[in-house]
């Protein structure tokens, strides 16, 4: 065969599975920042953390608003029920992420654009075959998409509390805040990372079974908002608050994180939350397996 100079075989290295997946994850992670709207959306999603940062600055006296005595009272004499507003407690740093408002709303905003559309968009444009002929297995592809979405979401859910906590440690007069909160904060942060992984994995799996990107986005939004509403209504009607953590997708994650970090919570069912998330994840995994079965030859 005559092969012209330009088309001599390219000098390629043998690449590992992760090296094939990482460009996909990286592309997924950075895709949001390639448009002005995407950058704007990400910045908007940082508002809750910025709000907390302003609170920190006020409480530590960096920014002077109101009488000094008020700041001192806020920082030192808060009752236990207000731990979520006290920078000396680990709960303060998690609240902007775990609360229904604003945490859930901003998480939904970010993930509905990135995570829930990722696979469905490629299916709708026939781009899946392009990846699969490049040596990425269907599961490797889904993993890469999830990894990109997870890292992006984690930059908000894990990165922001971490930055807040580091800021507080440096703003505090001594290292007492750090030594008092580091244990609980670290475990809580791990819990949030774990839950972000589960939440984004569920979002990616929904995307992998949906026939269109818009359908995936609607299904994902319905799952988060709808299950929260359903959990709230059912728990009120049956007067059983623990049902909320078993029915609400978001509340289940919140309960798991608070339980891991040993933060106080009442009338919740941790096992119910695990069961809810586990069954949702497992069920979706089976559906995705069925949907991806077309590509039988890829090993």
Partner 1 sequence: MSDSHSIVLEFDSVTKWYGSVAALLDVSFQVGNEVVGLVGKNGVGKSTLMKLAVGLLDPSQGAVRVCGSDATTRESRARIGFCPDFDRLYEPISGVTFVAWMLRYHGVAGRAATERAEEVLTELGLAENMHRPIREYSKGMRQRVRLGQALSHRPQFVLLDEPMTGLDPVARAELADLIRGLPQRGVGVLVSSHVLHELEAVVDRVVLVHQGRLLADGKVDTLRDQLPERPHRLRLKGARLRELASQLTAWPEVDGVSFLRDGLEISLSGHGAFYERFSDLASDWQGGVHELIPLDDDLAAVFGYLVE
* Interacting residues with partner 1 (CB under 8 A): 1-4, 6-10, 12-15, 19-20, 23, 27, 31, 34-35, 125-127, 129-136, 294-299
248 vs 56: CA distance, rounded Å: 31
Q: How far is the CB of 138 from partner 1 (least distance, A)?
A: 10
Residues 234, 12: Cα–Cα separation, whole Å: 58
Compare residues 10 and 238 and give the one whose CB is closer to partner 1: 10
For the chain, the three-class secondary structure string (H helix, E strand, C coil) is CCCCHHHCCCCCCCCCHHHHHHHHHHHHHHHHHHCHHHHHHHHHHCHHHHHHHHHHHHHCCCCCCCCHHHHHHHHHCCCHHHHHHCCCCCHHHHHHHHCHHHHHHHHHHHHHHCCCCHHHHHHHCCCHHHHHCCCCCHHHHHHHHHHHHHHHHHHHHCHHHHHHHHHHHHHCCCCHHHHHHHHHHHHHHHHHHHHHHHHHHHHHHHHHHCCCHHHHHHHHHHHHHHHHHHHHHHHHHCCCCHHHHHHCHHHHHHHHHHHHCCCCCCCCCHHHHHHHHHHHHHHHHHHHHHHHHHCCCCC
Q: Is 260 in contact with 270 (CB distance < 8 Å)?
A: no
Residue 138 or 161 with smaller CB distance to partner 1: 138
The least CB distance from residue 40 to partner 1, in Å, is 14
Nearer to partner 1, 122 or 251 (CB): 122
**Cβ nearer to partner 1, comparing 36 with 68:** 36
Least spacing, CB of residue 159 vs partner 1, in Å: 23
Cβ 135 to partner 1 shortest distance, Å: 5
Please, which residue, 149 or 253, has the CB nearer to partner 1?
A: 149
Distance of closest approach, residue 38 Cβ to partner 1, in angstroms: 8
Q: Which is nearer to partner 1, 14 or 266 (CB)?
A: 14
Shortest Å distance, C-beta 125 to partner 1: 4
Q: Least CB distance from residue 250 to partner 1, whole Å?
A: 30
Residue number with CB closer to partner 1 (62 or 127): 127
């Amino acid at each position: 065969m005559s092969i012209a100079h330009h088309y001599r075989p390219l000098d390629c290295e043998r690449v590992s599975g992760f090296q094939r997946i990482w460009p996909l994850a990286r592309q997924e992670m950075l895709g949001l920042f390639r448009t002005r709207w995407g950058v704007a959306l990400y910045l908007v999603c940082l508002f809750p953390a910025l709000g907390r940062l302003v609170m920190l600055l006020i409480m530590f006296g960096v920014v002077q608003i109101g009488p000094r005595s008020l700041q001192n009272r806020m920082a030192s004499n808060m009752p236990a029920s207000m731990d979520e507003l006290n920078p000396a407690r680990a709960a303060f740093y998690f609240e902007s992420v775990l609360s229904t408002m604003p945490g859930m709303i901003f998480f939904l905003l970010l993930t509905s654009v990135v995570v829930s559309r990722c696979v469905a968009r490629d299916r709708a444009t026939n781009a899946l075959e392009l990846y699969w002929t490049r040596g990425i297995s269907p599961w490797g592809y889904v993993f890469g998409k999830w990894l990109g979405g997870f890292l992006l979401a984690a930059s908000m859910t894990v990165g922001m509390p971490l930055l807040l906590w580091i800021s507080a440690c440096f703003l505090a007069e001594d290292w007492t805040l750090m030594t008092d909160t580091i244990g609980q904060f670290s475990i809580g942060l791990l819990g949030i990372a774990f839950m972000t992984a589960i939440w984004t994995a569920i979002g990616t799996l929904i995307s992998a079974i949906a026939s269109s990107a818009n359908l995936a986005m609607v299904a994902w939004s319905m799952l988060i908002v709808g299950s929260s509403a359903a959990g709230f209504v059912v728990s009120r009607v049956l007067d059983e608050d623990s049902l909320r953590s078993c029915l609400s997708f978001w509340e289940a994650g919140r309960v798991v994180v608070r339980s891991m970090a040993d933060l106080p919570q009442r009338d919740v069912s941790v096992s119910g939350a695990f069961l809810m998330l586990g069954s949702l994840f497992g069920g979706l995994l089976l559906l995705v397996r069925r949907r991806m079965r077309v590509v039988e030859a890829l090993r």
